Amino acid sequence: MEKCEAMTTTRPDIGLIIVGDEILSGKRADKHLPKLIELLNARGLQLGWAEYVGDKPERITETLKRAFASGDIVFSCGGIGATPTTTPASAPARRSGSSSSCTRRPKP
């Protein structure tokens, strides 16, 4: 008789990458982290990790590559709009050879 081992599936962690020199310099306060925690908790989910990164395209690319390779669910946000230091969302994706998909929620 063959033994059947119970398969356990582990849920991936949920991570957040927050991009912006303005946040790292203290010019802007981060509101992304507490809002994502609130939204996840309302759905019975929990944030597993968060990371802040400045606007350097190379650093953003490396951070995203590492996060995507982890198998985790990854959210990325940041920037306050079109400023001289803002990196377009597609730039790191192009550098890493992947595609980028950005969705903005319309303001009420």
* Domain interval for residue 37: 14-80
Residue 25 in domain: yes
CA pair distance 63, 79, nearest whole angstrom: 16
> Could you give the CA distance from residue 38 to residue 50 in angstroms, rounded to a whole number?
14
Residue 92 lies in a domain: no
Within-domain flag for 7: no
In total, the chain counts a number of residues equal to 108
Residue whose C-alpha is closest to residue 64's, from 23, 85, 88, 93: 93
**Rounded distance, CA 102 to CA 78, Å?**
12
* Model confidence, pTM: 0.70
Q: List, in sequence order, every residue forming a beta bridge with 77; answer none if it has no partner.
A: 18
Quick one: pLDDT at residue 11? Answer: 86
How many structural domains comprise the chain? 1
Q: The CATH number of the domain where 53 resides is what?
A: 3.40.980.10
Q: What is the mean pLDDT of each run of 10 residues along the chain (108 residues)?
A: 64 94 92 96 97 93 93 86 57 56 49
